[in-house]
Chains A and B, each alone.
Chain A
Amino acid sequence: MIEFKNIHKSFEDVHAVDDVSLRIEEGELFGFIGPDGAGKTTLFRMLNSLLIPDEGQINLFGLDPVKEYKKVRQIIGYMPGKFSLYYDLSIEENLQFFATVFGTTIEENYHLIEDIYKQIEPFKKRPAGKLSGGMKQKLALSCALIHKPRLLLLDEPTTGVDAVSRREFWEMLQKLKEKGITIVVSTPYMDEAGLCDRVALMQNGKIHAVAPPSEIVSQFSDPLYTIKVKNNYKSLQALRQWEFCENVYPFGETLHYLDKRNNVSADVIEAYLSSQQLTFDKVEMIQPDIEDCFIALTHNVG
């Protein structure tokens, strides 16, 4: 079990992590979802002993990362957001290096990384600095796993990665979870939340919700409408000026609209659009997804 109790961390005027408390179970695939600047990296760096909290306690499988940092570092595999392997060492040399530093060998734990490593093994003599983004990511994951950590800590592993590679990466995480490794991952992509057992929605150093993704969605009680229009920009402006508009924002090819009244029907919205001479295809009530929930939670705060 991993537990954060009332964790605070500031950098000069910036309250990067602001009273965070939560618990992660062993074997969970847990996601911190939030934009750049939410405090995810600071939280991760306190968990893995690289930063000391200003206030609060962390319990990592019974260890205190402040006092027992040497033991903590043995059981964590950490993949930082910024690629941090040695550019002038080859794929193979990087892996060898991390295995040796952690007092193990590639052979001993090869079974853990096999699925991932064999995709880059044909290029094992190539320097890490000359790899594509996807290959770097696979090498970094292999290096983070080679000492068989109890906890895999991945800081924005999919930022800047294309949609296909992102999907493959999450498939790899599922397999590692099945091997019993606890995985804590952060991401700015809301659509990745659904792939976690539980998620924490985070912004401005605070946690807004912690729950399984399906539960976060079901807690969203207001009626949400999707509006398919001809001109998104003009329609947004017009809806925003409507006195009943709570919030409206572009969402994929449509607009998502929330009304201040809780019993408004699609007809009423259609009538307003018509009165504004806006062309629309249809207005329907829909189920929100995680991104809608995130917007609602942070909209109310801001």
Chain B
Amino acid sequence: MDKKKVITVENLVKKFGHFTANNNLNFHVDQGEIFGFLGANGAGKTTAMRILCGLSSPTSGKVEVAGFDVSHQAEEVKKRIGYMSQKFSLFEDLSIWENMRFFATVYGLSSSEFKARGEDLLRKLNLYKERKRLVSTLSLGWKQKLAFSVAILHQPSIVFLDEPTGGVDPITRRQFWEMIYEAAENGITVFVTTHYMDEAEYCDRVTIMVDGRIDALDTPAELKKQYNAASMNDVFLALAR
């Protein structure tokens, strides 16, 4: 199978004053891959993710996302990605439909494209009747499922998910992951951070960042073999402790 690289990171360094947040990162991500980006709090994940999204420039090194250089073509990168986080995903005081329209417009969908895709999405999520409800009245699990759907409504080549399932119940967490699988089956690359180590097992490949470096990068099965560990939790503890 022909695998296209949608993210290429070569010798990425990011410094804030004397502090090195990203210390020479090298990796690539293939199209349609579910790529887990793990690390302890403060290991440099957020810094790297902001660079990949075109929100911050590397101090040195080369980063290409969706075929564009993040340092010089950040706006082109932003058009081709979707983003959701646990902390901010939707506007609480707008309705479901208003949120969808807002994000679709920001991501540059025309109103006719939005209407067709938006209505499809509402039916798929079984939210059509509730489309006028304020987002603040939805449970966290529903908010996160909706936020994810909104982040891929413009069919980006990559979606970045920053701890999308924190605090979500076990059943909804799994429904969320099925939506991730489905997006990946449809060719969308998924770049995801999580503190749930069982979710690390759902990824095709996983990196573990420690103190600004990438200390491990492989499939979950291979990492477990390499560290002689029963679970990804044990791999993580072996590396990050």
Give residues in A with beta carbon < 8 Å to B: 34-38, 132-134, 156, 159-167, 188-191, 203, 232-233, 236, 249-253, 291, 294-295, 298-299, 302
Contacts and interface: CB of A to CB of B under 8 A. Distances in A.
Nearest to A34: B169
B240 A164 contact: yes
A36 B171 contact: no
Interface string B200-241: 011000000000000000001100000000011100110011
Contact of A36 (B140, B178, B232): B140
Contacts of B237: 163-164, 167
B42 A132 contact: yes
B139 interface: yes
Contact of A295 (B39, B41, B166, B171): B171
Contact of B171 (A167, A253, A302): A302
B69 interface: no
Interface residues of B, number: 38
A253 B223 CA distance: 12
Given A36-B139, A253-B201, A233 B185 contact: yes
Contacts of A162: 39-41, 195, 240
Contacts, number: 97
B53 to A, nearest CB: 20
A71 B41 CA distance: 38
Given A134-B41, A165-B41, A252 B198 contact: yes
Secondary structure type dominating chain A contacts:
mixed
Contacts of A302: 171
A45 B220 CA distance: 41
A168 to B, nearest CB: 9
A37 B144 CA distance: 14
Contacts of B164: none
Nearest to B232: A252
Given A232-B202, A236-B178, A250-B174, A36 B236 contact: no
A252 B169 CA distance: 15
7 contacts: A162-B41, A163-B197, A165-B40, A203-B169, A232-B181, A250-B177, A250-B178
A132 B168 CA distance: 23
Contact of A133 (B41, B185, B236): B41
B119 interface: no
Contacts of A236: 178, 181
A161 B41 contact: yes
Nearest to B167: A36
B36 to A, nearest CB: 12
A188 B40 contact: no
A36 B169 contact: yes
Interface string B59-92: 0000000000000000000000000001000000
A232 B160 CA distance: 21
- Find the residue from A38, A160, A236 having the highest chain B CB count within 10 A: A160
Contacts of A35: 140-141, 167-170, 172
Nearest to A249: B174
Contacts of B174: 249-250
Interface in B163-203: 163, 166-172, 174, 177-178, 181-182, 184-185, 195-198, 201-202
- Find the residue from B39, B86, B172, B202 having the highest chain A CB count within 10 A: B202
Nearest to A256: B174
